[in-house]
Amino acid sequence: MTAALVVAAPVALLAVGGGDDADVANDPPAGAWRTVTHGDARADIPGDWTDHTCDFDGFTAEVYGPDEKAACQFESYLAFYGSATFDARRPPGIFGKQGYVYAGDFAVSAATETVGLTRRLLASARSESDPPIDGSEWQTVGAVGLRYDVPAFWGLGPDADLSNYAVCAVTGDRDAPPTEREDEPATYGSTSFVADRWIQVVAPTQALADLVTSTVRVEPRSDDVGCVSGSASDGDEGTSGPTDDWQRFAVEGVRFDVPDPWRELDCPGSGIYFGPDPNRCGRNDYLTFYARAWFDPAMGPAEIVSGHEGGDTLWAGYVFAGDWAVYVRTYDPQLTQDILATVR
Instruction: Give the per-residue pLDDT at 55.
Output: 86
Instruction: Give the per-residue pLDDT at 21.
Output: 39
Instruction: Give the per-residue pLDDT at 31.
Output: 53
Tens digits of pLDDT across the chain (344 residues): 333 333 333 333 344 333 333 443 444 444 589 999 999 999 999 999 999 988 877 778 889 999 999 999 989 999 998 888 887 777 898 887 889 999 999 999 999 988 899 999 999 999 999 999 999 998 888 777 777 889 999 999 989 888 888 888 877 777 777 666 554 556 787 877 766 778 889 999 999 999 998 888 776 666 677 787 776 554 443 333 344 467 888 888 888 888 877 888 888 776 889 988 777 777 788 999 999 999 988 888 888 888 887 777 889 999 998 889 999 998 888 889 889 988 88
**CA-based max dimension of the chain:** 67
Instruction: Give the per-residue pLDDT at 231.
Output: 62
Instruction: Give the per-residue pLDDT at 245.
Output: 66
Instruction: Please give the model's pTM, rounded to 2 decimal places.
Output: 0.61
Instruction: Give the per-residue pLDDT at 36.
Output: 95
Instruction: Give the per-residue pLDDT at 233.
Output: 53
Instruction: Give the per-residue pLDDT at 70.
Output: 92
Instruction: Give the per-residue pLDDT at 184.
Output: 52
